[in-house]
Structure 1
C-alpha cells in the first residue's frame, strides 16, 4: 500500500500535474490484492467489491487457522502414545469427536444430509472396490461442496457470516481429505 506521502497531491492547488505523475499516483493507490482495481464479479460496485474482497480474505484467514490447528491436534493425537491409546480404547469418545463437526454445521442442513449419507457409506462393511467407488463419488460430492461454498462466499453470504462461511469450507475440505484417505486405504488393502 502506498504511504500517505505518496498519496498526497504532487502539485499545489491551482497548478497542473504532469500526466505521467497523475498515472503514478493513481497506480500507487490500486490495491493489488483486490484484483488490480477490478470488481470481484460483474454487476457490483467498486465499494461493494472492496468490502467483498475483505470478507473473502477474512474467511480464508480463519480457514487457514482452522487447518493449522487441525494439523497440530492431529499430530499431537498420533504422536502422543497415551492420548492415542485413550482414543483407541474408548470408541464412544472417538465417535463423539467425529460427530462434533457435523453438529457445528447444523445451519447448513442440505450439506449435512449429503455429508452424513457419504460418511454413513464408509461405516458399512463393503469390499475394497466398493469403498474406492463410493470414495470417488464422495470426493466428487465434496469437491462440488467446495465450489458451491466458495460461490456462496463470493455472492451470497453477508459480511457478518464469516465464521459460518469458514466453517462450511473447513468441513468441505476435511471431508474431502477423509474420503481421499479412505480411497488410499482401500487401495492399500488391495495390495
Structure 2
C-alpha cells in the first residue's frame, strides 16, 4: 500500500522517469520541459494576437503589398528573425536580453505569418489552425509515450535536415518556375510531413538532449516547427479552396 501511494505521489509530482535509461533527476527535466512549453505558449499567443490584428485591419496588409516602402518593410520583416538568431546564439543565457531578443524574433515572425493569412479566407485559416493543433498535440503525446517505452528518434536528424534543404531549394525554384494548383498542394503536403517529423525529433530532443540552459533554443525549435506546419497546411487548403 505504501509503495502504491509513493508511486502515485511521484507520478503526480512529475518525478517519474521520462525514458528507461534516464540518469538525470526527473524533476529537473520535467521543470525544464514545463518552462519550454510555457515559453512556446506565450510565443503562440503573441503570434495569434499579432496575426489577428494584421488580418482584421486591412490597411496594414495593403501598406505592405501596395507600396514600395511597404515592400521594403516586408523584406525587413522576413529577414529580421534570421538576423536576431545571431545575437540570440551568443546571449541565449543572458537574462533578460535573451527574452527581449526572443520577443523581437517572435513579433517579426508573427507579422510575416499575419501577412500570409491576410489574403486568405477565414475558413481556410480556421481549418489550418484546427488541423495544426490536432497534429501537434497528437505527435507530442506520441513522442512522450514512445520515449517512455525506450524509443529514440535521434536517427531522424540527418534525413529531416536533407529533406529541409531540398524543400528550401525547391521553394526558391518556384520563384522562377511557379507550380500549378496540384503541384502547390503536393509541395504543401510534403512540407507538412517534414515538419511533422521535426516536431517528433525536436520533442525527443527536449525530453532527452537539450541542456537546462538551452530552453530558448528548445522553444525556438518547436515554435518554428509549429508555425511551419501551419503554413504548410495553409498552403494545401488555400490551393484546394482556389
CA RMSD of aligned residues (A): 2.7
Distance 1:152 1:38, change over 3 A: same
Q: Name the count of aligned residue pairs.
A: 164
Equivalent position of 1:147 in the other structure: 200
Q: Distance in 2 between matches of 1:145 and 1:118?
A: 19
Equivalent position of 1:38 in the other structure: 16
TM-score by length of 2: 0.59
Q: Distance in 1 between matches of 2:201 and 2:52?
A: 30
Distance 1:118 1:140, change over 3 A: farther
Confirm or deny that 1:88 pairs with 2:68.
no
For residues 131-170 of structure 1, the aligned pairs below 5 Å read: 131-170=184-223
Larger radius of gyration: 1
SS of equivalent to 1:60: helix
TM-score by length of 1: 0.73
Unaligned runs of 5+ in 1: 1-19
Equivalent position of 2:237 in the other structure: 184
1:24 to partner: Cα distance: 9.1
Distance 1:31 1:73, change over 3 A: same
Comparing both structures, which one devotes a greater share of its residues to helix?
2
Unaligned runs of 5+ in 2: 90-160
Among 29, 40, 47, which residue is 1:63 paired with?
Answer: 40
Relative contact order higher in (CA < 8 Å, ≥ 6 apart): 2
- Cα deviation 1:30-64 (Å, max 9, x = unaligned): 35151xx420111124x621111111110000000
1:88 to partner: Cα distance: 2.0
Task: Tell me which moved more, 135-144 or 87-96.
Answer: 87-96
| Counterpart contact for 1:149–1:165, Cα < 8 Å | yes
